[in-house]
Structure 1
Amino acid sequence: MPVPVGVIRLPRGPEGPGRGFSPTSPRFQALLGAEEAGGTTATIQGVRASLRERYLRGLGAARGRPTQFCLRAGVRVDAVFGAADVEAVAVQVDALRTPLGVQAAALLRCTDVLAYSFLLD
């Protein structure tokens, strides 16, 4: 029996005016400030590269961590975080514990996930 291998795809960077960032976040405001202050393309690219690296490190650190997801209709489920896809459409999880039972592996649609938090080990 082949051993399953986890796959983490790299997300796309923020293109356009702040795609992927909350307009009220301090990081987004810093990026806008660099653009409005006449920042060079290299400066703006550096800021975006730094944000992307932090996001990827966060995804890497999340792999294998116990996580609680709050879904629509007030449903809360526990799972082990696996990976997120490029377009942030789905999150792959293992050992998904639902009110109906345990699923060995599953994909959660990001449109159904309201919030998630990592549980202490």
Structure 2
Amino acid sequence: MKTPVSVSRLPRGPDPNSRGFDPSSPRYIALCHTTGTDAVHVEEEQRLRTELRERFLRSLILMSNKEVYFSMYERVQVQAKFGASDIDILNFQVSDLQTPLGVQKEAILRCQDIISYSFDL
């Protein structure tokens, strides 16, 4: 018989259906910076974030199968043919990565190591 494993459960929310937290609770107020007058500011910020996210995702689509120049930390410049990104956009898959040490046929670049990237339309 296999050893049973305990399952950790998340705490229940304040409502009977456990679908969220009470907006008047101290935890919600501390984590949410919105007040009556800030609601317009938050809505505008959310709209701008949405627009920037959409632009970024469109740039990923345009980059596929193109030569992309990456500026990385320690003043390293590399060039590669962009392949794909993972769903969380934490890694880029590239081909023919040209580095100062040589060429890698296939590689994964961690996004946290990339400062900027550019490519020709």
Mapped to 1, the partners of 2:92 and 2:99 lie a distance apart of 16
Unaligned 5+ residue runs, structure 2? 1-37
Cα 1:62–1:111 change in 2 (3 A) is same
TM-score under structure 2 normalisation? 0.53
1:69 aligns with 2:70: yes
Bigger RCO (CA 8 Å, 6+ sep): 1
For 1:78, the equivalent position in structure 2 comes to 79
Mapped to 2, the partners of 1:72 and 1:54 lie a distance apart of 24
- Counting only pairs closer than 5 Å after superposition, residues 1-121 of structure 1 correspond to structure 2 as 36-37=39-40, 54-118=55-119, 120=120
Larger Rg: 2
RMSD of the alignment, in Å?
3.0
Mapped to 2, the partners of 1:63 and 1:48 lie a distance apart of 23
Cα 1:111–1:50 change in 2 (3 A) is closer
- Report sequence identity in percent: 43
TM-score under structure 1 normalisation? 0.53
Using the TM superposition, give the Cα deviation of residue 117 of structure 1 relative to its aligned residue in structure 2, in angstroms: 0.9
Runs of 4+ in 1 over 2 A off after TM superposition: 45-58
Mapped to 1, the partners of 2:70 and 2:48 lie a distance apart of 30
Q: CA offsets per residue over residues 86-106 of structure 1, 9 Å max, x none?
A: 222111111100111111110
- Give 3-state SS (helix, strand or coil) of 2:98's partner: strand
Mapped to 1, the partners of 2:47 and 2:87 lie a distance apart of 21
Using the TM superposition, give the Cα deviation of residue 36 of structure 1 relative to its aligned residue in structure 2, in angstroms: 2.2
Number of matched pairs: 84
Unaligned 5+ residue runs, structure 1? 1-34
Using the TM superposition, give the Cα deviation of residue 57 of structure 1 relative to its aligned residue in structure 2, in angstroms: 3.0
